């Protein structure tokens, strides 16, 4: 994919995620992109005035190399990869995590019926509890698998 294609794909994916209610995800990604990626740089710096007398006495150069941290912008390809990973985490990874939790409860309660797991937040009383039912929602896991394949195909093209 060219940089232009990556930028177009990023915009389209970001819009689709926002429309699906994942604005909190695209906001997190946007914050990261604004900050840039951290890199270390080697700089040649002039000695401080206070050090000059000592360095002149010792006869060493007044310039020295130092390593500093800096940021640089992400490339178009990196931006798209970051957004694809964010989408994977909030759809595919979450679905797989729910599966692990369900299996864990099933193993402990082999002889006992259970209905659901409720994840309750007392600091957000208006928000409904996240509910994981004892059996996976019919159809959703297939959709997640399909999305997983599509995202892998996109990643291979970046």
Partner 1 sequence: MPPLPDLLAQIEAAIGPALSPSLTAASAGSDVFEAYILSIIIDAAEAEGATITFRNVDGSAPTVFTFRTSPGHLWSTAQPYTHAELQFPGVPLLETHMGVYVSGRSGLIHEADILVLTSDEAQLCRQNFVPPRSHRSIIAVECKFYASNLKIGLARAFVGLCSDLSSRECYFVTNASSISVEKLLTHQRRKWQSPVEPAAPGVVERFRNSVQDTFKDYKTMYVD
Pick the binder of partner 1 from 48, 122, 135, 138 (CB under 8 A).
122
Give me the 63-92 binding string for partner 1, x by CB under 8 A, dash otherwise: -------------------x--xxxxxxxx
Q: Which of 43, 54, 68, 94 binds partner 1 (CB under 8 A)?
A: 94
In whole angstroms, the minimum distance from the beta carbon of 49 to partner 1 comes to 32
Distance CA 152, CA 91 (A): 13
x/- contact string, 139-158, with partner 1 (CB under 8 A)?
xx--xx-xx--xx-xx--x-
Calpha distance 59→84 (Å, rounded): 55
Interior CA angle at 92 toward 106 and 104, to 5°? 15
Q: Does 136 bind partner 1 (CB under 8 A)?
A: no
- For residue 134, how many C-alpha atoms fall within 13 Å in the half-sphere facing its CB? 11
The count of C-alpha atoms lying within 13 angstroms of the C-alpha of 48, restricted to the half-sphere facing its C-beta, is: 2
| Residues with Cβ within 8 Å of residue 7, at least 6 apart in sequence | 76, 79
Among 47, 77, 81, 99, binds partner 1 (CB under 8 A): 99
Q: Which of 98, 91, 97 has the alpha carbon at shortest distance from 21? A: 91
How many residues contact partner 1, by CB under 8 A? 70
Binding site for partner 1 (CB under 8 A): 1, 5, 9, 12-13, 16-17, 20-22, 24-25, 28-29, 31-32, 38, 82, 85-101, 103-105, 108-109, 112-124, 127-132, 139-140, 143-144, 146-147, 150-151, 153-154, 157
């Amino acid at each position: 994919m060219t940089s232009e294609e990556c930028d177009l794909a990023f915009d389209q994916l970001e819009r689709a995620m926002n429309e699906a209610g994942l604005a909190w995800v695209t906001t997190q990604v946007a914050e990261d992109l604004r900050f840039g990626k951290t890199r270390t740089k080697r700089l040649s710096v002039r000695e401080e005035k206070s050090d000059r007398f000592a360095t002149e006495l010792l006869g060493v150069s007044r310039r020295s190399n130092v390593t500093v941290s800096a940021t640089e912008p992400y490339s178009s390809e990196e931006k798209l990869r970051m957004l694809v990973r964010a989408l994977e985490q909030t759809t595919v990874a979450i679905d797989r995590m729910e599966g692990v939790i369900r299996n864990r409860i099933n193993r402990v309660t082999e002889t006992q019926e259970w209905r659901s797991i409720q994840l309750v937040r007392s600091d957000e009383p208006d928000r409904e509890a996240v509910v994981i039912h004892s059996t996976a929602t019919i159809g959703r896991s297939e959709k997640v698998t399909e999305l997983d394949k599509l995202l892998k195909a996109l990643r291979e093209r970046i």
